[in-house]
Every structure is written in C-alpha cells, then in structure tokens.
Amino acid sequence: MKKQKWYLLLLLLAVSLVLAACGGGNDNAEGGDGGDEAAEDNFSVAMVTDIGGVDDKSFNQSAWEGLQAFGEEYNLEKGDNGYDYLQSNSDADYIPNLNQLVRRNFDLIYGIGFMLKEPIMEVADQNPEVNFGLVDDVIEGKDNVVSIMFKEQEVSFLAGVAAAKETKTGKVGFVGGMESPVISRFEEGFKAGVKSVDPNIEIIVNYVGSFGDAAGGQQAANAIYSQGADIIFHASGATGNGVFAEAKERIQQNPDQPVWVIGVDSDQYEEGKVSDDVNVTLTSTLKRVDVAVKEIAERAMNGDFPGGETITFGLADNGVELAETGGHIPQETWDVINEYKQKIIDGEITPPGTPEEYENFLKDLGIEE
C-alpha cells in the first residue's frame, strides 16, 4: 500500500508541475487572441492537401504558395479569418478536414488534387453557402464549386521539344506516378513534342504506381538510363525525388556522360543540384497552381466567383510554362520551343491529352507506330 502511494505522489507532482507551467503560457496566448478579435471580417480562404502534404515540392506546395501570396497582397494573417491549410494523412481525412474549415467560416475552400473530388461533392452539397474549388478534376452542376484544370499536355509538349533537341543518345524517358487522366496528359503531350521534332527518337515509358515512392522512382530511372536514354521527364510527385537521386548519382560517378531530368509542377532546379557547377535539372514544366488559386480567390473576393464553371489554364494565360532557371537549354533550342509555343497558342497545334489523341496526332504527322 505504501509503495502505491509513493507512485501516485510522484505522478501527481509531475502533472501539477507541467500544468502550472502551461498555465503561465496560456495567459499570454489569450492576451494575443484578444487583439485578433477586434479585426474586421476579411475574405478568408483555405485549402486541404491530398496525402502528399503541403511540402511535396509539387502542386500542394504550389497551391499553398498561391494562398500565401494572396494573403500577403491583401494583408491577411495565417489562421482564422485569413488563410490556412490542413494536411491529410489518409483518404479518410479529406471530409473531416473540409468540414473543419467550413466550421472555421472560411469563405472559399480549395481541395488540391483529383482525390478530393468525391469529398468536395459531398461537403459542397451539405454546405451550399460556402464556396469550394477543386484542382485537377471537374465537378459539374454545383453552383458553389469551381473546377480548375490545366492543359498539362501543352507544356509537356514543349518539354518534349526540349528533350528531343537536347538528347545526345536519341533516347528519352518518361516516369509516371499512377496511371490517371492527368498523368496521361503529361505523357502524351511529351511524346507528341518529341515526335514532332524527330520521329526517330525512342521514348521509354515507365509507371511506378505511386506518387510517394522515391525508391521506386529511382529504380525506374535506373532502368531507363541503363537502356541508353539521357533525359527523363517525370510526372510523379514525390516519386520523382528518386529520379533526381538516380541522375545525381550517375553524374557523380561518370561526369563525362551527362544525364538530365525534366522536373514537374514547380521549378525543381534545386532538386537537381549536385554542386555549385553541376545540376541535372534541364528544365521544369511549371503548373502554376499558385497563379490559378490566387486568381480564383481574387474573383471570389470581388463577388465574381465562377461557380459551376470549369476554368482551364494553359500556355495562353500563363497557367503552364517551361522554367528557364539554370540556363541549361541553349538559345537555339529556346527559339524552336518558342516557335512551337506560339503555334499552340494560335491553335495551329493541339497537343494530345489522351492515348487516342496521341495516335491521331501521329497519323497527322504521317508517322506509323
């Protein structure tokens, strides 16, 4: 009996110590809160990430950068009545996270990624007074939901042109995350760009089956480089970190045999850095999710929320573009790229976004596969 009391006493002491310590902190924090309450009701916007997380160096991060830029421009603070994000650890978290943001009275709530489609449809029906935005997929017929799409095939086409011009071995590669309509647009656009420049270039395609498997990405890149390709375009989220790792390893072991990676979604120049002089990132296809979420947020703030519509961002409205960081692409190649870019903007060339469109595209070019 005696010993038990001794245990209890020790624990009680520890608990009370901690509680006392916290008590002090609490007072300060409450003082801070009081100041906030005086603020007026701002237009507030928030987002829910998919399971990639907010620092995925890809579109979740890009979207968050867009919200931060929006907040900075209109003097908003991170948190309630400003801008904020919630991360999802599993598919089951999407709806609770969306609902939390609804209850925190955000005016506009984005779901980043096509996995958020069903959850947004459900929550949007239950909360018709709140506006939602979905990136990368389309929800039709809901007045409080706007769908944001990108013409990935257009910028991937330009990446294909760059790869075709810059390859020394006549072989290029593509690493995909999971097979899906979005990744299909990357793949088919890229292939069409390559074939438009030189139909004889071989394209090796490899899907890893995940957006979060860096080890799998490294294996895929290893297989493609080993088959003689010297440039890989990846559209695979965090899996692509493995593609960069493989390229960096190869160039360190064999500096005379250059290999390149074309990054995706955000400027991945930093990912390709080996030393101050050596970098394996040829360029990146930028999907300006940040531009898109900021623009839609501004429209919503000004009472012009495009509910029920699908807004598509392409080359023409700077929603997608090819990164110039690093200057690895020579001017002659840029001239060719810009030529194709103008043709796409003018509608002379329509890059394919599905396997069927790609086949037709090849037929129009007069190539038999």
The angle formed by the CA atoms of residues 292, 319 and 337, to the nearest 5 degrees, is 165
- From the list 53, 258, 308, 326, which residue makes contact with another protein (rule: CB under 8 A)? 53
Query: Which of 140, 143, 179, 339 touches another protein (CB under 8 A)?
Result: 179
Subset of residues 254 to 293 that bind another protein, contact rule: CB under 8 A: none
Q: Residue 237 Cβ, how far from another protein at the closest point, in Å? A: 8
25 binds another protein (CB under 8 A): yes
- Interface with another protein (CB under 8 A), residue from 9, 72, 73, 79: 79
Note whether 19 binds another protein by CB under 8 A: yes
- Shortest Å, Cβ 51 to another protein: 7
* Opening angle at CA 363, ends 361 and 365, nearest 5: 70
Measured from the CB of residue 353, what is the shortest distance to another protein in angstroms? 14
Measured from the CB atom, is 134 or 229 closer to another protein? Answer: 134
Q: How far is CA 73 from the centre of its chain?
A: 22
Q: Which residues pair with 281 in a beta bridge?
A: 261
Establish if 211 lies at the interface with another protein (CB under 8 A): yes
Q: Which range in 12-20, 159-167, 196-204, 333-341 contacts another protein by CB under 8 A? A: 12-20
Region of residue 327 (phi > 0: left; psi between -120 and 50: alpha; otherwise: beta): left
Q: 351 — phi, psi (to 5°)? A: -60, 140
Distance CA 219, CA 213 (A): 10
355 CB neighbour count, 10 Å cutoff: 12
DSSP string computed for 92-115: GGHHHHHHHHHHTT-SEEEEESGG
Q: Which two tokens stand for residue 42?
A: 């701002």
How big is the chain by its Cα radius of gyration, in Å? 24
Pairing of strands 310-313, 145-150: parallel
Identify which of 218, 268, 216, 221 has the alpha carbon closest to the alpha carbon of residue 61. 268
Q: Counting contacts by CB under 8 A, is residue 95 touching another protein?
A: yes
When the beta carbons of 169 and 180 are compared against another protein, the nearer one is 180
Cα–chain center distance at 327: 23
Of 120 and 337, the one with the shorter C-beta distance to another protein is 120
> What letter would DSSP give residue 223?
H
Query: For residues 182 and 192, what is the distance between their CA atoms, to the nearest angstrom?
Result: 16
- Count interface residues toward another protein (CB under 8 A): 48
Handedness of CA 210, 211, 213, 215 (dihedral sign): positive
* Member of 68, 69, 80, 274 binding another protein (CB under 8 A): 80
HSE of 98 in the Cβ direction (CA atoms, 13 Å)?
28
302 binds another protein, rule: CB under 8 A: no
* 31 sits near another protein (criterion: CB under 8 A): no
Q: Figure out which of the listed residues 43, 47, 58, 93 binds another protein, where binding follows CB under 8 A.
A: 93
Residue 314 DSSP label: -
| Shortest Cβ 23–another protein spacing (Å) | 7
φ, ψ for residue 272 (rounded to 5)? Answer: -95, 5
Residue number with CB closer to another protein (97 or 333): 97
Main-chain phi, psi angles of 197, to 5 degrees? -80, -45
If one asks whether residue 118 binds another protein (CB under 8 A), the answer comes out as: yes
Whose Cβ is closer to another protein: residue 62's or residue 97's? Answer: 97
In the complex, minimum distance from the CB of residue 139 to another protein, in angstroms, rounded to a whole number: 12
Considering the complex, what minimum distance in angstroms separates the CB of residue 329 from another protein?
A: 31
Q: Give yes or no for residue 351 binding another protein (CB under 8 A).
A: no
Q: Does 91 bind another protein (CB under 8 A)?
A: yes
Distance in Å, CB of 99 to another protein, minimum: 7
Report the interface residues with another protein, using CB under 8 A: 1, 3-4, 7, 11, 14-15, 18-19, 21-23, 25-26, 29, 33, 51, 53, 79-80, 86-87, 89-93, 95-97, 99-100, 104, 114-115, 117-118, 126, 177-181, 209-213
